[in-house]
Each structure stands twice: as structure tokens, then as C-alpha cells.
Amino acid sequence: MTEIPQKWDETFDIIIVGAGNSGLPAAYSAVKAGANVVVLEQMPCPSGSFTRMAGWVNQAGTELQKKMGIEDSPEIMYRDFVEVCRPARPVNLEVVKNYCKKTQEIYPFLEQYGAKCLGIHLTAGASRPRGHIYSGVETLKALHKAAQEVGAHILFKHKVVDLYRDPATGRFVGLKVRVRRGEYLNFRAKKAIILASGATLDNPMLVWEYGSYRHVSLCCPEARGHTGEIIKVLTRMGIPIRYPGTHIYASVPLDYNTRHPLSHTLLIWWAGAILVNINGVRFINEDEKLFPTVGEACFLQPDAISFVVFDQTLYDIIVRDVPQIDWKYFRPYKANTLKELAEQMGVPADNLIKEVNEYNEDIKKYGYDRKFGRRKCLLFDKPAIPIEKPPFYAVKGISGLTSTRGGVMINERGQVLDLDERPVPGLYAVGELATGGLFRDGNYICGTHTGFAISYGFIVGEIVAKEG
């Protein structure tokens, strides 16, 4: 254990590690509740994974849902979560309840600070449409503005490299911060430290440690500044990190030709396109409710490559109804016949034509495809449509790492738990780092991390400031 320094350079009531989409709301609510708060961020700007998300924040019972005639409530959301994600016992279900309840407040809050909601989608795993669509950067801007306006100190280029723990009481009392090369400061936290530092995906050594060599060779679209320093320190201190390994999922293919972090091809297949591999053959029901199943299937195809194939009808629908897709990040293949398209994609034309024809016939004749049983275009909750109006399009995708489904375990107050499920004094966690055990087997409702990050940020910030 690192010895506690004789002299502290800075002292605050609450220190938050990470200026992202859980750290900033935590800072906001802690300052509102009267605490003196500092946020430490290793990057030169606020840097949530939000800036690269597919675009949904799950919220239940918002004004917008009511306006659109969607009946939803935190109770239904809670039921969905438990059914789909099946949190492993000893996860405290109060955490999930609190999260579901708090999501209602996100929508008006973001609206107030200038992040517009662009619509609502049904997301994989949810029983009704509650994926509120946002631009990641706009959301981060809004949260940043909110924290700044109430007067939270936000220090950039401050990288936390170690935590100090009082050996006598076991309490976390401060942390060591690298300001620049060879220059370190010691920050003391009078009340508590809130960790909002995300997971491990920006650190290849940890991806390798918890994932596999196959994961190391993939792109990494969603993490932002998740270098895993905190996870390393916690591991050294004996704080358990739950399931970081099996939960490094390669679930979101990106456009192979641009590899842009925002070229999520899942948005296209959920809007109604079909997925084929490099042999031109479909391999899964694209609307499978368990999101990781499809992601894993794409990852397991030869070379981790998958194509989404669609036509002009769907292209128009996407332009109209999937606002988070920006075509400048994609480089789709385009051709007037499927044969030419297959040539451009480099897949056997016979296979592709056969697959598409079979799919079209089934959809028209039976209303579902007989090969895998697809019935719907998931995002809009509408019947699947045939792929027949030229020109045809295809986007080549290569699987990428997205978010992790593991981390430390927290109780309903956000306190980090040790191996005996006892809260560690002075240490709290929110955001992606705090999702340990919430998603058993990686089962996951799209848009959960995002809503969880913001809502639990609010909750924990307030609790710590009031009681800490």
C-alpha cells in the first residue's frame, strides 16, 4: 500500500475521477448539494465514451414518450432489465431500481442544457421504445456546461495514478495525480472519492489480460480515455473487479473502409438490412433480442467481417428515421444489381443473390424469414421489408470492441464493495466502472450504460455530498 503523504497539495470535499458522462453529473449534483468538488480528467477535454456511442439513452416515463403515445414507466423498465440482463446475485437490485427511477430526470435536464433529443427507438432487449436518441457530443457538452455553471472545478490533464488508503481505518483519503512528466500532486478528499473513470478498453494490455488475443486485433470504437489506471490500482489494493474478462465484447462492427468510431453498422441492420458474411451467406436473425448474440456472431465470422446489405427503400428510411447515422462516416458499396454489388463486396454473387431472393420471398409470403425467423425491423418495431428496390447498398463491417460489462460492485448508495460485500469507506463508483455484475453473461439492453452513467452520477453525487 502506498504510504499517505505528509503534506497535501490540494484539499476538496469530494474528488471525482473522470470528466465524462457519469463524473460530470456527479459533480453537478454534489455541488448543488453544497460540497466543494473537483473533477480530475487525464485528457485535455471532457471525454466520455458518449462521444462515440450508437446514440441511445434509455429513459422510462419521459414527457417525450407520453407525447408520442408510448406507455412506459420505471417499473416496466426495471422488469425488462431484470428479465434480460439477469443481474447476478450479490448485485443489489436497489441499484437497478434507483437507476430506472432516476432516468426520467435525464430528458428535461439535457433539454435544459441544450442537448436535443432526436426521437425514440426501440432498442434490442427493451419491451417498448425508450431509447432516446442523442448526439453524443451534444450530450457531453450539456453535462459539461451544467457542471461548470454550478461551479465544479474541472482540471484537465490531471491523471490519477494512485489512491491513498489510511492503513488504520481502511478509508480512502486521497489520490496521487500526474500533472506532467515527472510532476505529481497529492489531492486530499475530505468526504469521499468518486470513481467515474470508465473501463479498460483503451489499454491493450488490459484488453489482452481480460479478453483474448483476437480482441486485441480489433478496432475500439466506444471507449474514450478508458486507460484502466484505476482498475490496475484497485486490483493491486484487493478490491474485486467483477467479470471484466468475459465481458469484453466485440459487439459493434464498424465500417471496414473508414473505421470511424461513429460508423456503427448495427444501426443499419436494426433498421431493416440483412447481415451476410464474406461467403455471402446470412448467419443470424438480425433482430435477435439479445444484443450480444448478434454482436458475437459477427465477431465469429471469418476475419470478423460482416456485411449489411440493403436497398434504396431502406436507405431513404434510414435518412429519415435514424438521425444518428451520418453517411459521411460510411463508405457503402452501391450497385444497380445484386451481382455487381457482390463483385464490389468481393463475395460470391450466386450466394448473395440466392440469400436475398429467399429472404424476399419469405418476407412477402409468410411475413417472416424461414431461415432464422426474422419478423421485424427492430428500431421501428415494424414488419421486416424485402430488399428489392435498386440501387442496392452494402457496408463492410469489422467487429470492434465497445463497452465492458464488468467492473467494481456497488451498493445502492454507490459505495464500492470489497470481497465480503462490505462497503469500502470513502470510495464510490459510478458509470461504466460500476457495472460489475449487473449484466450476467453480458446480456444487455442497448442504451443501458448511457442512462446508467448519467442517472447514477446524479444519485451518487447527491448522496456523497449530503452524507459522505
Between residues 204 and 240, which has the closer beta carbon with respect to another protein? 204
CB of 144 to another protein, least distance (A): 8
Query: What are the residues whose beta carbons fall under 8 Å from the beta carbon of 289, sequence distance 6 or more?
Result: 84, 124, 125
Between residues 181 and 320, which has the closer beta carbon with respect to another protein? 181
Please tell me whether residue 100 adopts helix, strand or coil conformation.
helix
Between residues 224 and 282, which has the closer beta carbon with respect to another protein? 224
Rounded-to-integer distance, Cα 294 and Cα 124, Å: 10
How many H-runs (helices) and E-runs (strands) does the chain carry? 15, 18
CB of 203 to another protein, least distance (A): 4
**Angle at 414 (CA atoms; ends 409, 418), nearest 5 degrees:** 40
Rounded-to-integer distance, Cα 411 and Cα 431, Å: 13
Rounded-to-integer distance, Cα 185 and Cα 9, Å: 6
**Angle at 249 (CA atoms; ends 248, 254), nearest 5 degrees:** 125
Rounded-to-integer distance, Cα 299 and Cα 84, Å: 21
Between residues 112 and 217, which has the closer beta carbon with respect to another protein? 217
Distances (CA, A) of 52 to 47, 91, 252: 10, 28, 12
Between residues 252 and 317, which has the closer beta carbon with respect to another protein? 252
CB of 181 to another protein, least distance (A): 5
Between residues 165 and 226, which has the closer beta carbon with respect to another protein? 226
Between residues 9 and 202, which has the closer beta carbon with respect to another protein? 202
Between residues 401 and 445, which has the closer beta carbon with respect to another protein? 401
CB of 50 to another protein, least distance (A): 9
DSSP lists the bridge partners of residue 306 as: 397
Please tell me whether residue 241 adopts helix, strand or coil conformation.
coil
Between residues 143 and 438, which has the closer beta carbon with respect to another protein? 143
Between residues 101 and 159, which has the closer beta carbon with respect to another protein? 159
User: Cis bond leading into 90, ω under 30°?
Assistant: yes
CB of 44 to another protein, least distance (A): 5
Rounded-to-integer distance, Cα 446 and Cα 433, Å: 17
CB of 177 to another protein, least distance (A): 14
CB of 212 to another protein, least distance (A): 15
Kindly list the residues in this chain that would bind another protein in the complex (CB under 8 A).
42-47, 51, 137, 140-141, 157, 181, 202-205, 217-220, 223-228, 259-261
**Listed residue (365, 458, 430) closest to 198, CA to CA:** 430
CB of 58 to another protein, least distance (A): 22
**Angle at 165 (CA atoms; ends 162, 167), nearest 5 degrees:** 140
Please tell me whether residue 188 adopts helix, strand or coil conformation.
strand
**Angle at 90 (CA atoms; ends 88, 92), nearest 5 degrees:** 95
CB of 327 to another protein, least distance (A): 18
Q: Beta strands 183-195 and 423-429: pairing type?
A: parallel
Type and span of the H or E element at 231: helix 229-236
CB of 180 to another protein, least distance (A): 9
CB of 182 to another protein, least distance (A): 9
Between residues 92 and 263, which has the closer beta carbon with respect to another protein? 263
Instruction: Evaluate whether 279 touches 347 at the Cβ level (below 8 Å).
Output: yes
Type and span of the H or E element at 138: helix 136-150
Please tell me whether residue 13 adopts helix, strand or coil conformation.
strand
CA atoms lying within 13 Å on the CB side of residue 279 = 6
